[in-house]
Every structure is written in C-alpha cells, then in structure tokens.
Amino acid sequence: MPRAVVITGPSGVGKGTLIRSLRTRMPELQLSVSATTRRPRTGETQGVDYHFMTPEEFEQHVAAGDFVEHADYAGARYGTLRSELATRSAGGAPVVLEIEVQGARQVRATMPEAVQVFIAPPSLDALRARLVGRGTDAIEQVEARLRTAEQELAAQDEFARVVVNDRLEDAVEELVEIVRDTTATG
C-alpha cells in the first residue's frame, strides 16, 4: 500500500496553493493527477493538472473498477485512478491526493492508513473572496461551490487533522509538520 496524504476541504480554500508550497519544502512528495470530466481552464495542461476525459471515457473507467475513489462535484466527475497511485508511489515516496470530501471518505474506508488533512477557511466570507479573487470560475460555478462548501465545512469534524488556512505561511508550516510526522520523510 502506498503511503498517501489526502488533502481535502472546500474549493477555493487554498489546497492547490498549500500543496505547491509543501512540494517546494518536500520535493520528494509525489502528486496524484486526478481524472475529471470538467473542461480545462486557461493554462491547464492535459496529464499535468488533470487527466481530462469525456463523460464516456470516465464511465468506462468506473465500470472497469479503475478508480480508488470518484465523486460528482459541481456538475462534473472527478476521480483518482489506481494506475496513477501505483505509478506515483513506485519510487517509495508518499503520494499527495487533492480531492473533495466525498472522495476523502472513500479513501478513508479503503486506505485507512492514509493521512487525511482537512483545510478550513477562516470564514465563509474569506472563502467566497478567494473563489471570486481566483477569477477562474463563472459566478454560477462560484455559487455552486459555496453551496457545497457549507456541507463540506459541516463534515470537518470527521477529520483528525484540520488546518485553518488563514495566514498562508502558518498553514504551510503546520502542513509540513503533519506530513513529516505522519510519513516519516525528511
């Protein structure tokens, strides 16, 4: 079983930003590239940001049992491919999964040894400001993500480790400590 670190929490809370900093501090960490049916945003690259696929391709992978976990989120499908985890963990380094809460629950059931960290915003207003400020999503997408965020925030007690991403540097420091302690790297 690969050593895995699941980073979850609402869209716009700063998961991607935190993981970029984490990987600068711990370059050995591998990042699992997810599959999605969502359209690529400007600047996103096939196979780097996501394995972008059609709904038909995604469904074929579901039917074949190729996913460790998968979920519907804000009108698209997202999932972690078993083959992706196997490739990324081949060198023995921990693999980071950046996934939403339904997926994190599935991983908790099937890979209970995986470390799970919930990233929380300082407030819902701050979350909205970040989603709007990121400028990547239409307002309907922002609203859909905020509606889901309220349910996701209600689920944070399920997670043994919660990091509030208020001041970025503090949150990065906390995350580095958790990952070092729980994966015995570095």
Q: Which residues bind ligand ADP (CB under 6 A)?
A: 11-17, 130, 133-134, 165, 168
165 binds ligand 5GP (CB under 6 A): no
**Closest separation in Å from C-beta 92 to ligand 5GP:** 22
173-182 long-range Cβ contacts below 8 angstroms, 24+ apart: 175/7, 175/18, 175/22, 175/117, 176/22, 176/25, 176/26, 178/115, 178/117, 179/5, 179/22, 179/26, 179/29, 179/94, 179/115, 180/26, 182/5, 182/115
| 58-87 residues near ligand 5GP, rule: CB under 6 A | 69, 71, 73, 78-80
Give the separation between CA 145 and CA 134, rounded to whole angstroms. Answer: 13
Q: Is 103 in the site for ligand 5GP (CB under 6 A)?
A: yes
- Nearer Cβ to ligand ADP (17/89): 17
Least distance in angstroms from the C-beta of 184 to ligand 5GP: 25
CB of 32 to ligand 5GP, least distance (A): 7
In the structure encoding, which two tokens stand for residue 5, read together? 């670190």
Residue 33 contact, options ligand 5GP, ligand ADP, none, Cβ 5-8 Å cut-off depending on partner type:
none
Q: Does 38 bind ligand 5GP (CB under 6 A)?
A: yes
Of 116 and 184, nearer to ligand 5GP (C-beta) is 116
Q: CA-CA distance, 99 to 35, in Å (whole number)?
A: 11
What's the rounded Cα separation, in Å, for the pair 76 and 155?
A: 21
What's 181's DSSP letter?
A: H
Nearer to ligand ADP, 20 or 180 (CB): 20
Q: Which does 71 bind (CB under 5 to 8 A by kind): ligand ADP, ligand 5GP, none?
A: ligand 5GP
Task: Point out which residues bind ligand 5GP (CB under 6 A).
Answer: 11, 15, 34, 38, 69, 71, 73, 78-80, 98-100, 102-103
